[in-house]
Structure 1
Amino acid sequence: MHASIWNHRNPLIHTRKALAEGQLTVGFIGGSITDARPRHNWPEPVTAWLVEQYPQARIIVENAAIGATGSELAVFRAKRDLIDRGCQLVFIDYAVNDYGEPSDKRKRSREGLLRKLLADGGRDVVFAHTFMQDMYAAMREGGVPDSIAELEELADHYGTGSVWMGLHALEEVRKGRMRWEEWLPDTLHPTHRGSLSYGQSIIAFLEKELQAEGAAQLSATTASFTTATVANALPQPLHPHHWGESVLLPLAKAQTEGPWVIRRWPYYEWIDQVLETAAVGAKLSFEFEGRGLSLGFDFGKLSAEFRYRIDGGDWIAMSRERPDWCGDDGWYRACYLGEVLPFGQHRLELEVTHGDRPECRGTNFRLAHIGVIR
């Protein structure tokens, strides 16, 4: 695959139309490199550029990126955090955070996310590829890391634009415009200078899409555009088991045994409610229709572990890593229970456990969502 920073595949029809009508809602989803909370990540210079270039339009930003999360979680967050908030332009950043996942799994979750965002024909989507050190060897030789190559295959198939921000920054280092330590002071997360480089690569993409050709094409494009036309143009999936039909099962559907409560969760903006207990031995169960499950937790060093079984099979004990950077709670963590089931009706049983390891210092079990993979 040819290494290119900018790939213009389809005009940003929805973005142009929204700007012409006076209000654009821009969504971002990804990991810590895109997360809004540091206030210096690359969405900041991109937002500032949009505000400067289009003073006649109201720019609304929905940055739904969360550090230490991947596309597995994004599939189940897309509706609430991007689609229902009216995003007309969405940037996806999962080149890094999906890097350690099995290739087949990340292909399914990424395609599911993309299909959810494109299904109603209401928005433009652009992939934005960041960088981690494990990618350097391939990039040094002019190659494309597997995680990015797979995203580019998706982009080609669905006709979505892409910007390889990591390659743009590496080129700046090669040309002497930026020092490596200015780009990645901790070897992974850009601060102000590196984020500006990432943002400038996105701005260059938008300049070509919206300014060089956009003004001349806008009226002709929007005149022939209909939501139905775009929705019907969604191509056949690349992966037959993509997660695009995945759904959330209401927490109230779970049957419980022991001291459980569903409570509104005021501690983390991305979680609406949790099904919570701190009692070792507490149990829950539910039925679902699908092929597998991905559970979401407010997780941390004080979290419980659990064991589970499906359809009365063998019990499987979970033993999740708790890295040094992990706090006592506040990590919206997805837990993939596998996709080995025939599609149909199934039953999950779960029991809260301590974990029986020195690093398991608590028994807080806080289930934030039940994701059913179909």
Structure 2
Amino acid sequence: MPLRLTGVMLLFFVSLSLHAQTDSLNSMQEYRIRQGLPNFFAKLKSGGPLTIAYFGGSITAASGGWRDQSVKWFQQQYPQAQIKQINAGVGGTGSDLGVFRLRRDVLSQQPDLVFVEFAVNDGGPYVHQTMEGIVRQIWKANPSTDICFVYTVAGNMLPVLQQGQLWPTMLAMEHIAQHYGIPSVQLGMQVLALLKEGKLVFQGKPDQYPDKLVFSGDNIHPNTTTGHRLYTEALVRAMQQLRNNDQPFKHPLIDPYTKDNWEDAQLVAVKDLPRTGQWIDLSNTNDSVAVQFRQRFPLLVKATQPGSSLQIRFNGRLAGLYDLVGPGCGQYDVTIDGQAAKSYPRFDRHAVYYRSHYFFLPLLDAGPHTINLEVSAKKLDKMAILKTGDNQPGNLDKYKEDACYAGWLLLLGSLTNQNK
């Protein structure tokens, strides 16, 4: 789901759009080969074994979609190769969370190729920094790992894309791709062509348009047999060109495009942080919420008592929390370096069910900082919040609790002595 534009995000889009008017990369091309995927194709042609990581949002995570379809194509083209895939798609998230979870979700499994798909969900002011952080983390871990950026499309992008120009997040990613010689594939070119010819409807129900292709039902997520198929066909066309380069080499980690990139992003288990009050360790329990999210949060803690807190002392510039939002959630009161507390609700208009979520605290000057995340005593008007959405509340009992969950600390920097 695309991120809602805040004032900062809007400023990013405006400034990047103005820059795009003279940017040589700001044109729709189905693929840009650059340095290609030589290590991947050399290993593929030799029979592997090899691993492909698909790193993105819900469009990548979708079962039976372009991820599964493209793996099947590789297997058909190279039947002697042993191909394993990593599904590292997390719905509703962009490269800002991706750069933190990359090591755990992708690099720990030593991929030979990483497809990176975040253009639809990205929209904050740090796309250059987060995408570059992803690239540099990958090549620091293994300079022989190949990378390919892929761009999916959403309905809100159409007015820009139909002018032959890139959506601002795509253009930011192209800056990084060009700097590092990374190939990129625009998966939506054929979608736009068919839309222009009147042969495709971007959003609708298939039975309402029997003589046309219906791309999606919600203006974002492609239907498996139409939208995802068109995405796969675009990727295949690009791969047929990219496979001509199969001379292996190690990717050099050149000077960064942005000196403040997020290559130092890391996940820290919240379970290991100092805590006050009553926190429940849900690891290895049968708690229904913990079981549902155990793969994402193997170390999950929960507190319902107001005043229970987590303390973070670190040397760096940014901290955030990777946690849960849901019907039984309340909010955190957060203080940074002793300043006035600010509330961070862990409930929203979609919170009729539990889902993983995350939030960042304000970017700070690099240096030592102390942060306190406290379970708030302030009650949220959950029914009023739900009325701003489209979901029915259902059983009201599930909203009675005002808990805060915590799984991972998101950190640009490093922890300092937590016992001071």
TM-score, L = length of structure 2: 0.79
**Alpha-carbon deviations, 1:186-211, whole Å to 9, x = none?**
2111012100001111111111112x
Provide runs of 4+ in structure 1 moved above 6 Å. none
The CA deviation string for residues 71-106 of structure 1, in whole angstroms up to 9 with x for no partner, is 12111111111111111111111111113x2x3x22
Give the conservation status (yes or no) of the 8 Å contact 2:331–2:344.
yes
Say whether residues 1:366 and 2:390 are aligned partners.
no
Does residue 55 of structure 1 match 2:76? no
Task: Give the C-alpha shift of residue 288 in structure 1.
Answer: 1.2
C-alpha distance in structure 2 between counterparts of 1:117 and 1:354, whole Å: 42
Partner residue of 1:82 out of 106, 111, 117: 106
Between 347-356 and 84-93, the greater mean CA deviation after superposition: 347-356
Query: Aligned partners of 1:107, 1:278: CA distance in 2, in Å?
Result: 38
> Are 2:43 and 1:18 aligned?
yes
Give 1:269-288 correspondences, 5 Å limit.
Answer: 269-288=295-314
- Structure 1 residue 21, shift from structure 2 partner: 4.5
Match 2:122 to one of 93, 98, 101: 98
Report how far residue 126 of structure 1 moved. Answer: 0.8
Match of 2:376 in 1: 353
Q: Per-residue displacement from partner, 1:287-325 (whole Å, max 9, x unpaired)? A: 11210112100222322210111221221111356233x
Q: Deviations over 1:7-50 (max 9, x none)?
A: 101121221233114212011111111114xx232112101101
Aligned to 1:260: 279
Contact 2:323 2:358 in 1 (8 A): yes
Q: Assess if the C-alpha contact under 8 Å between 2:65 and 2:228 holds in 1.
A: yes
Which residue is 2:217 aligned to? 185
Structure 1 unaligned blocks of 5 or more? none
Verify the 8 A CA contact 1:308 1:348 in the aligned structure 2: yes
> Does the 8 A contact of 2:335 with 2:341 survive in 1?
yes
Partner-residue secondary structure (3-state), 2:55: strand
Decide whether aligned partners of structure 1 residues 302 and 252 sit closer, same or farther in structure 2, where only a CA change above 3 A counts: closer
Q: State the shift of 1:115 in Å.
A: 1.6
Which of 126, 132, 156 aligns to 2:148? It is 126
* Helix, strand or coil at the partner of 1:333: strand
Identity %: 25
Q: Which residue of 1 aligns with 2:321?
A: 295
CA distance in structure 1 between the partners assigned to 2:144 and 2:300 by the alignment? 31
Q: Distance in 1 between matches of 2:106 and 2:132?
A: 16
Question: SS in structure 1 opposite 2:161?
Answer: helix
Quote the Cα distance in structure 1 between the aligned partners of 2:347 and 2:106: 29
Greater shift, 183-192 or 58-67, is seen at 183-192
Amino acid of the structure 1 residue aligned with 2:29: S
- Unaligned regions of 5+ residues in structure 2, if any? 1-25, 205-213, 284-289, 386-398, 414-420
**In structure 2, how many angstroms separate the alpha carbons of the residues matched to 1:244 and 1:314?**
30
Distance 2:282 2:345 in 1: 26
Is the partner of 1:84 in helix, strand or coil? helix
What letter matches 1:132 in structure 2?
Answer: A
The alignment of Structure 1 onto Structure 2 pairs a total of residues equal to 352
Q: Distance in 1 between matches of 2:114 and 2:300?
A: 27
1:181-260 matched pairs, under 5 angstroms:
181=204, 182-192=214-224, 193-210=226-243, 213-214=244-245, 218=246, 221-222=247-248, 225=249, 229-230=250-251, 233-260=252-279
- In 1, the alpha carbon distance for the partners of 2:50 and 2:334 equals 45
Q: SS where residue 69 of structure 1 aligns?
A: coil
**Residues 50 and 327 from structure 1, CA distance in 2 versus in 1: closer, same or farther, beyond 3 angstroms?**
farther
Query: C-alpha root-mean-square deviation of aligned residues, in Å?
Result: 1.9
